[in-house]
C-alpha cells in the first residue's frame, strides 16, 4: 500500500511539473526561446535578433555554432540579471526586466544587450576546458563585446570610466591577479567586470580581433601566464601594465573638501535632501542615517542592501524608501513610507514600483512602476489607494528605454530622467495637466544621474551628477525659480556623486559658502565631501515643450573631449572594426540580414515540454574517501560517475550516482528526482548505498523530501522548512571483509521507517569595506534551528523520537562565534564519535545529523541499555586569532584567494541517560583550524584533541564550508 502511495504521489508531481506549466517556446535557427505569458513580447523581440547575434559573435571568435541553445526568460524577479551555465548543458537564463541605473544603466535595449553578453559567454566558453580562464578574462570578453556599438555597454559609460580613472589617481589600480576574480569586499565584482572588459578591449585594439580569438581557442592550456605569452609574446603582467598606462587622467584634479573632520570611509548611497539635513544609506553598516546641520548623525532604521532610493516629503517628515523583497512567485521592487517623527513605517506599500517622490504634499506619491521591460511614471493618491494615473511610459519601441529618479520640482511638477542608456533627457510632467516639458536637449548634460529634489528658502533646486567620457563625474544644479543651470567645469578627485543641498550651522573653516554635500567614490572606499556652488557660472535654461522622440545626442560642449591626458593615450574605443559596423546591434530595428533570417523563423509559439530536455545529462566523476583510519586501504576508495539533468526552465531535475568499491566489491547507486518551484522543492529518491566511512552497514531504501524557503521582507533573513520521510533496510557488514570478496552477502534486516521535520531561521549581515588587510570582513548575527525525528524499528517494534535545538551567534566587531545546543530523546541518544544519533536496539545513525558539537576525536560508544530516555547539552566556541586578506588570483590556476584565517576553539557535550546516575558523561575537545577562503568558500584542515580520553594524537579533518 505504501509503495503504491509513493509512486502515485511521484507520478502526480511529475505530471504536474510536465503539464501544469504555461510556458511556450519559439524555435529559431540556433535557439529555443522559452517564456511565460507575461514575457511574450520580449520573446518575440529576442527571436528576431538572436540568430544574427550568434553568427556575429561566432565570426568574431573564429568559431562555429555547435549546438542549439535553450534561452529561458524568467519573469519571477524585478532585478535585472542573467547567466550562462554549462550545467547540465549549455543554456542561458535572462531576467525579463528593465535595467536599474547603475553600471547597467548604460543599456538601451536591455533584453538584447543582456542576451548579447550571456551569448558571448556561451560561445567563448564552448571550447575545451574553458573554465580554466580567470573570471576577468571570462567577463572581459563579454563586457567588451556588449560595448561594440560605441553607444551602449559598460565601456561606453562615463560611470565606468570614472572607476578606472579614479583607481589610477588613487594608485589603487589592481594588478591582473587582483582583478582576476571578484574580491569579497568592496569594490567586489567591479574589478573583474570593468577592468577585465577594458583589458579585453585593449588587447583587441592592439593585437587585433583574430589574435584575441586565439586566447579562447587555446583555452585547453591550463596555466594563464604561459597561455597568454604563447599568443601575445608578452606576459600578462607586462600587457596589463601597458593597459593601465592607457587609462586617461585629467591634467588638473582638484582636491576635495571634507564634509566634517572625521574623514570617515564607508560605502554610501541614496541620499535624500530636506531643509534640516539629509538622509543616506550606509551599505557597510546596513543602516539609514540622518545627517543634521549640526553635523550629527542620527540612526533612523536598519535595512538590507536591496535599498535603492530615498526621497523626503516637502516638510521633511516622511521618507520614501525603495527596496526589494522576496515573494512566493516573484521577487518584487517595493516602495514604503517611513515616518521620521514616529520612527516607524506607515502601512502603505507599493509593490512592483521602484524609485518614488512625493508630490506637493505627502498624500501624493509619484512612482516608477515596473512590468518586464517596461516602466511607467504613475501618480498615486494615498486617500484613494486604488486610483492610479499614468504620466509617462518607457520601454521597447517607446521614446525612452527607462525612467529614473523622479523628484519634486515645485509648482506641481515632477522632474525625472528619461534614459536611452547614457543618452538622457531631463523631463518635467505637470501633476495637474499631464503636460510634459524638458530641459533643452542641447543644454542637458551627458549621462546625467542621481537627480535629487532640494527645498530651499528660495524654492526648489534640482541637483545631479553628470560626466562625459574620460572624465570624473561632476556636479550639476538646476534652479526651478530662476530657470538657470550650473555645471562644474573641473574634475575633483573622487568625483561628485549623489549631491544634495546642505548648509551646516557653522561656517566652513576652509572658506567659502558650503551649500552642497556629496559622495566621492574612490578606488576602494567612499567619503562625504562638500563644495560651494557660488562660483559656478549660471546659464539661462528655460524649459521647452517635449514633442516626442528625438535623437538624443551629446550636447555641443561634450562633442569634443576637453580632458587632457597623461602620456599613453586613452582607453581604446569599443567601436568595432569597420567591416563589422553594419553587423553590430544598435537598436531594435532589423538589419537586412536579420529581416531575411526572420522570414525563415516560425514565430508560432509551441507548448514547452520539459521532459524532452532531461535526456541531456551532464556526466561527472564521483569519488568517496574512507575514514582516516582506513586511508591506506585502497580497496575502500570509491570511484564512479554521477549524472545531473535539468530542464531549461529549472522545474524538473534528475540526479543519479553509481560508485564502485573494489575490495570487497560493491556498487553504491542513488537516484533522485526533484520538482522545483520558486520557493520550494519536492524530491523523491531511491538508493542502495554503503557506509563509506567505517564500512559497518549497507542501506537500501526510498525517500521523499520537501524543502520550503519562506519569503522574507529582509534579505538578511532566511526561514526554511525541511520535511522528509524514508523507509530503509539495513544490512550488517564486516569492515575487515575476512570471509567475503563482496558486500552483497549480508542479508537485509532492521527495517526502519523515519520521518523528520526541521525549521531554521537566520539573520546574518556582513561588512564589506576593507580599510586594511587584517580582520577586514566581519559576519554577525544569529542562526536558530529546531528539528524533530520519529523512527519505527519493525524488528523490535520500538518507537524512537528525538527533538533538538541549536542557536549560533556571531558577535559584531569581535571575531568570536559560539553556539549552544541541546536534545531530548526517547529510545534515541547522542554518543561521542559520531555526528548523528544512535537509536535503541540499532547501532547505526538514522536520518538525523546532530546539532551538538562534533566529537569525532572520541571512540564510538553505544547507548546505555538500562534506560530509554536521554538528554544532552552542547557548547561550541571559536575565536579567529588571525585573519589576513590576500584578495589575489593564482598565477597558475583560475582560483582566487580571498583570505587566510587561523581559528582556535573549544567544544563540549554534557550527555546523560535519565534515570541512571552512572550514565553521565562530559566530553570536550580543544580544536584549531587553518582556513583558506577560495572564491568565497572556506577550505582547510582542523585538528581536534580529546580532553577526556587518553590519546596521543587527536583527529585531523578536512573542512569545507560555504554556509555564508
What are the residue boundaries of the structural domains of the chain, listed by start? 22-250+572-608, 253-545, 766-964
User: Could you check whether the bond before residue 88 is cis, i.e. omega within 30 degrees of 0?
Assistant: yes
With 0-12 / 13-18 / 19 or more C-beta atoms within 10 angstroms meaning exposed / middle / buried, residue 255 is exposed
Q: How many CB atoms lie within 10 A of CB 529?
A: 23
Q: Residue 3 above 70 pLDDT?
A: no
Beta strand 31-35 with 69-74 is parallel
Q: Residue 136 above 70 pLDDT?
A: yes
Q: What is the pLDDT of residue 416?
A: 98
Cβ 479 vs Cβ 514: under 8 Å: no
Q: In what order do the strands lie in the sheet with 353-358?
A: 353-358, 364-371, 374-381, 384-394
Find the mean pLDDT for residues 543-559.
61
**Per-residue confidence band for 568, with pLDDT thresholds at 50, 70 and 90:** very low
Least reliable range by pLDDT among 261-270, 600-609, 884-893:
600-609
Q: Residue 688 above 80 pLDDT?
A: yes
Find the mean pLDDT for residues 713-725.
95
Q: Residue 439 above 90 pLDDT?
A: yes
- Nearest residue to 584 via CA among 209, 213, 219: 209
Q: What is the pLDDT of residue 336?
A: 98
Q: Residue 510 above 80 pLDDT?
A: no
For the domain made up of 22-250+572-608, the CATH class stated in words is: mainly alpha
Altogether, the residues listed in the chain come to a count of: 964
Q: What is the pLDDT of residue 392?
A: 97
Q: What is the pLDDT of residue 633?
A: 75
Q: What is the pLDDT of residue 567?
A: 34
Q: What is the pLDDT of residue 213?
A: 93
Q: What is the pLDDT of residue 35?
A: 96
**Per-residue confidence band for 438, with pLDDT thresholds at 50, 70 and 90:** very high
* Residue that has been written with the C-alpha cell 552512572 in this structure: 918
Least reliable range by pLDDT among 480-494, 667-681, 786-800:
786-800
Q: What is the spatial distance between Cα 842 and Cα 766, in angstroms, rounded to a whole number? A: 43
User: Could you check whether the bond before residue 664 is cis, i.e. omega within 30 degrees of 0?
Assistant: yes
Q: What is the pLDDT of residue 292?
A: 93
Least reliable range by pLDDT among 620-624, 890-894, 915-919:
915-919
Q: What is the pLDDT of residue 586?
A: 40
Radius of gyration of the chain (CA): 31
Q: What is the pLDDT of residue 590?
A: 52
Q: Residue 552 above 50 pLDDT?
A: no
Q: What is the pLDDT of residue 576?
A: 37
The conformational region for residue 801 under phi > 0 = left, psi -120 to 50 = alpha, else beta, is beta
* Residue that has been written with the C-alpha cell 533584453 in this structure: 111
Least reliable range by pLDDT among 419-433, 566-580, 601-615:
566-580
Q: Give how far the C-alpha of residue 903 lies from the chain's centroid of Cα atoms, to the nearest Å.
A: 28
Give the chain's end-to-end CA distance (angstroms, integer): 43
| Backbone φ and ψ of 703, nearest 5° | -145, 160
Find the mean pLDDT for residues 438-458.
95
Find the mean pLDDT for residues 845-853.
79
Q: What is the DSSP letter of 864?
A: P
- If DSSP codes are grouped into helix, strand and coil, which group holds residue 397? coil
Instruction: Find which of 577-581, 623-627, 699-703 is predicted with most confidence, using mean pLDDT.
Output: 699-703
Instruction: Find which of 100-104, 300-304, 637-641 is predicted with most confidence, using mean pLDDT.
Output: 300-304
For 312-336, write each residue's pLDDT tens digit: 999 999 999 999 999 999 999 999 9
Cβ 520 vs Cβ 492: under 8 Å: yes
Summary mean pLDDT of the chain: 87
**Per-residue confidence band for 5, with pLDDT thresholds at 50, 70 and 90:** low
Higher pLDDT, 336 or 216: 336
With 0-12 / 13-18 / 19 or more C-beta atoms within 10 angstroms meaning exposed / middle / buried, residue 207 is middle
620-640 residues labelled b (16+ CB within 10 A) or e (exposed): eebebebbeebeeeeebbbeb
Least reliable range by pLDDT among 190-204, 609-623, 638-652, 861-875:
861-875
In the CATH hierarchy, which fold is given to the domain comprising 253-545?
Answer: Neuraminidase (2.120.10)
Higher pLDDT, 354 or 836: 354
Dmax (CA) of the chain: 99
Q: Residue 736 above 90 pLDDT?
A: no
Q: What is the pLDDT of residue 569?
A: 39
- If DSSP codes are grouped into helix, strand and coil, which group holds residue 766? strand
Bridge partners of 641, per DSSP, are: 621, 658
Instruction: Find which of 626-630, 682-686, 920-924 is predicted with most confidence, using mean pLDDT.
Output: 682-686
Find the mean pLDDT for residues 73-85.
93
Q: Give how far the C-alpha of residue 461 lies from the chain's centroid of Cα atoms, to the nearest Å.
A: 36
Q: Residue 706 above 70 pLDDT?
A: yes
Q: What is the pLDDT of residue 506?
A: 63
Find the mean pLDDT for residues 249-262.
91
Q: What is the pLDDT of residue 581?
A: 37
Q: What is the spatial distance between Cα 68 and Cα 169, in angstroms, rounded to a whole number? A: 46
Q: Residue 244 above 80 pLDDT?
A: yes
Quote the percentage of the chain above a pLDDT of 90. Answer: 67
Q: Residue 815 above 50 pLDDT?
A: yes
Q: Residue 7 above 60 pLDDT?
A: no
Grid cell locating 639: 570511484
Q: Residue 446 above 90 pLDDT?
A: yes
For 169-181, write each residue's pLDDT tens digit: 999 999 999 999 9
Q: Residue 396 above 80 pLDDT?
A: yes
Q: What is the spatial distance between Cα 857 and Cα 507, in angstroms, rounded to a whole number? A: 67
Higher pLDDT, 33 or 10: 33
| Backbone φ and ψ of 859, nearest 5° | -75, 140
**Per-residue confidence band for 254, with pLDDT thresholds at 50, 70 and 90:** very high
Q: What is the pLDDT of residue 17?
A: 52
* Residue that has been written with the C-alpha cell 564512479 in this structure: 640
Output the pTM of the full model. Answer: 0.90
Higher pLDDT, 847 or 883: 883
Find the mean pLDDT for residues 753-762.
95
Helices 224-232 & 236-245, crossing angle to 10 degrees?
70
Q: How many CB atoms lie within 10 A of CB 221?
A: 15
Q: What is the spatial distance between Cα 19 and Cα 21, in angstroms, rounded to a whole number? A: 6
Amino acid at each position: 500500500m505504501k509503495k503504491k502511495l509513493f509512486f502515485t504521489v511521484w507520478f502526480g508531481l511529475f505530471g504536474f511539473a510536465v503539464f501544469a506549466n504555461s510556458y511556450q517556446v519559439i524555435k529559431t535557427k540556433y535557439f529555443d526561446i522559452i517564456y511565460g505569458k507575461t514575457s511574450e513580447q520580449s520573446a518575440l523581440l529576442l527571436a528576431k535578433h538572436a540568430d544574427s547575434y550568434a553568427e556575429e559573435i561566432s565570426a568574431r571568435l573564429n568559431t562555429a555554432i555547435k549546438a542549439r541553445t535553450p534561452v529561458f526568460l524568467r519573469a519571477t524577479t524585478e532585478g535585472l540579471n542573467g547567466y550562462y551555465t554549462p550545467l547540465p548543458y549549455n543554456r542561458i537564463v535572462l531576467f525579463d526586466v528593465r535595467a536599474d541605473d547603475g553600471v547597467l544603466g548604460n543599456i538601451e535595449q536591455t533584453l538584447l544587450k543582456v542576451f548579447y553578453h550571456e551569448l558571448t559567454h556561451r560561445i567563448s566558453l564552448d571550447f575545451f576546458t574553458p573554465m580554466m580562464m580567470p573570471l576577468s578574462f571570462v567577463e572581459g570578453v563579454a563586457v567588451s563585446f556588449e560595448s561594440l556599438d560605441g553607444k551602449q555597454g559598460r565601456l561606453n559609460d562615463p560611470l565606468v570610466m570614472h572607476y578606472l580613472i579614479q583607481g589610477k589617481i588613487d594608485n589603487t589600480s589592481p594588478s591582473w591577479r587582483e582583478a582576476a576574480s571578484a574580491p569579497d569586499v568592496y569594490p567586489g565584482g567591479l574589478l573583474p567586470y570593468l577592468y577585465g572588459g577594458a583589458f579585453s578591449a585593449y588587447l583587441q585594439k592592439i593585437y587585433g580581433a583574430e589574435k584575441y580569438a586565439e586566447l579562447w581557442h587555446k583555452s585547453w592550456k591550463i596555466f594563464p601566464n604561459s597561455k597568454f605569452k604563447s599568443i601575445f609574446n608578452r606576459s600578462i603582467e607586462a600587457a596589463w601594465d601597458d593597459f593601465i598606462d592607457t587609462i586617461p587622467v585629467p591634467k588638473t584634479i582638484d582636491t576635495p573638501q571634507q564634509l566634517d573632520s572625521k574623514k570617515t570611509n564607508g560605502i554610501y548611497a541614496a541620499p535624500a535632501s530636506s531643509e534640516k539635513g539629509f538622509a543616506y544609506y550606509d551599505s557597510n553598516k546596513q543602516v539609514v542615517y540622518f545627517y543634521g546641520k549640526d553635523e550629527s548623525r542620527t540612526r533612523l532604521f536598519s535595512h538590507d542592501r536591496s535599498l535603492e532610493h530615498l526621497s523626503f516629503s516637502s516638510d521633511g517628515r516622511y521618507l520614501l524608501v525603495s527596496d526589494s523583497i522576496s515573494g512566493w512567485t516573484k521577487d518584487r521592487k517595493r516602495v514604503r513610507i517611513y515616518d521620521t517623527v514616529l520612527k516607524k513605517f506607515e502601512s502603505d506599500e507599493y509593490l512592483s514600483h521602484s524609485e518614488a517622490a512625493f508630490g506637493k504634499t505627502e498624500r501624493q506619491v509619484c512612482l516608477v512602476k515596473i512590468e518586464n521591460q517596461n516602466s511607467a511614471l504613475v501618480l498615486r493618491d494615498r486617500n484613494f489607494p486604488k486610483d492610479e494615473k499614468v504620466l509617462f511610459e518607457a520601454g521597447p519601441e517607446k521614446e525612452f528605454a527607462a525612467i529614473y529618479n523622479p523628484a519634486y520640482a515645485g509648482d506641481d511638477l515632477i522632474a525625472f530622467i528619461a534614459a536611452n542608456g547614457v543618452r538622457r533627457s531631463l523631463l518635467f510632467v505637470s501633476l495637474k495637466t499631464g503636460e510634459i516639458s524638458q530641459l533643452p536637449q542641447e543644454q542637458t548634460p551627458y549621462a546625467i544621474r542621481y537627480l535629487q529634489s532640494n527645498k530651499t528658502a528660495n524654492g526648489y533646486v534640482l541637483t545631479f551628477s553628470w560626466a562625459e567620457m574620460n572624465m570624473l563625474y561632476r556636479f550639476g544644479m538646476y534652479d526651478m525659480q530662476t530657470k538657470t543651470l550650473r555645471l562644474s567645469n573641473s574634475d575633483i578627485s573622487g568625483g561628485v556623486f549623489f549631491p544634495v543641498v546642505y548648509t551646516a550651522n557653522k561656517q566652513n573653516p576652509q572658506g567659502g559658502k558650503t551649500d552642497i554635500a556629496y559622495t566621492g567614490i574612490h578606488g576602494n572606499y567612499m567619503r562625504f565631501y562638500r563644495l560651494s556652488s557660488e562660483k559656478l557660472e549660471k546659464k539661462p535654461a528655460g524649459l521647452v515643450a517635449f514633442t516626442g522622440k528625438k535623437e538624443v545626442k551629446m550636447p555641443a560642449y561634450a562633442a569634443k573631449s576637453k580632458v587632457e591626458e597623461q602620456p599613453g593615450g586613452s582607453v581604446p574605443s569599443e567601436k568595432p572594426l569597420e567591416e563589422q559596423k553594419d553587423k553590430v546591434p544598435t537598436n531594435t530595428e532589423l538589419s537586412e540580414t536579420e529581416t531575411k533570417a526572420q522570414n525563415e523563423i516560425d514565430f508560432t509559439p509551441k507548448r514547452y515540454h520539459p521532459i524532452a530536455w532531461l535526456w541531456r545529462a551532464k556526466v561527472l566523476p564521483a569519488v568517496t574517501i574512507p575514514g582516516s583510519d582506513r586511508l591506506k586501504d585502497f580497496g575502500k576508495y570509491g570511484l564512479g560517475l554521477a549524472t545531473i539533468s535539468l530542464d531549461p526552465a529549472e522545474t524538473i531535475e534528475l540526479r543519479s550516482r553509481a560508485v564502485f568499491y573494489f575490495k570487497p566489491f560493491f556498487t553504491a547507486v542513488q537516484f533522485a528526482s526533484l520538482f522545483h518551484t520558486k520557493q520550494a522543492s519536492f524530491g523523491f529518491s531511491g538508493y542502495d548505498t554503503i557506509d563509506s566511512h567505517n564500512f559497518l552497514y549497507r542501506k537500501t531504501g526510498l525517500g521523499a523530501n520537501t524543502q520550503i524557503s519562506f519569503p522574507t521582507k529582509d534579505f538578511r533573513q532566511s526561514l526554511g522548512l525541511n520535511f522528509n520521510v524514508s523507509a530503509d533496510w539495513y544490512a550488517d557488514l564486516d569492515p575487515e571483509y575476512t570471509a567475503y570478496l563482496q558486500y552483497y552477502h549480508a542479508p537485509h534486516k532492521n527495517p526502519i521507517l523515519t520521518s523528520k521535520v526541521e525549521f531554521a531561521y537566520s539573520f546574518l549581515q556582513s561588512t564589506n569595506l576593507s580599510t586594511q588587510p587584517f580582520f577586514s570582513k566581519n559576519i554577525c548575527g544569529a542562526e536558530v534551528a529546531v528539528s524533530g525525528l520519529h523512527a519505527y524499528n519493525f524488528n523490535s517494534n520500538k518507537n524512537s523520537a528525538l527533538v533538538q535545538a541549536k542557536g549560533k551567534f556571531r558577535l559584531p566587531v569581535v571575531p568570536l562565534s559560539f553556539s549552544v545546543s541541546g536534545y531530548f530523546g526517547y529510545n534515541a541518544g547522542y554518543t561521542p564519535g559520531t555526528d548523528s544519533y544512535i537509536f535503541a536496539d540499532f547501532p547505526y545513525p538514522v536520518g538525523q545529523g546532530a546539532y551538538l558539537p562534533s566529537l569525532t576525536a572520541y571512540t564510538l560508544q553505544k547507548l546505555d541499555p538500562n534506560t530509554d530516555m536521554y538528554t544532552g547539552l552542547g557548547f561550541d566556541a571559536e575565536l579567529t586569532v588571525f585573519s589576513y586578506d590576500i584578495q589575489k588570483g593564482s598565477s597558475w590556476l583560475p582560483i582566487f584567494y580571498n583570505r587566510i584565517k587561523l581559528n582556535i576553539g573549544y567544544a563540549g557535550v554534557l550527555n546523560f541517560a535519565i534515570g541512571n546516575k552512572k550514565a553521565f558523561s562530559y566530553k570536550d575537545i580543544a580544536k584549531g583550524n587553518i582556513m583558506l577562503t577560495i572564491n568565497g568558500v572556506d577550505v582547510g584542515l582542523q585538528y581536534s584533541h580529546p580532553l577526556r580520553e587518553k590519546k596521543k594524537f587527536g583527529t585531523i579533518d578536512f573542512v569545507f564550508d560555504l554556509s555564508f
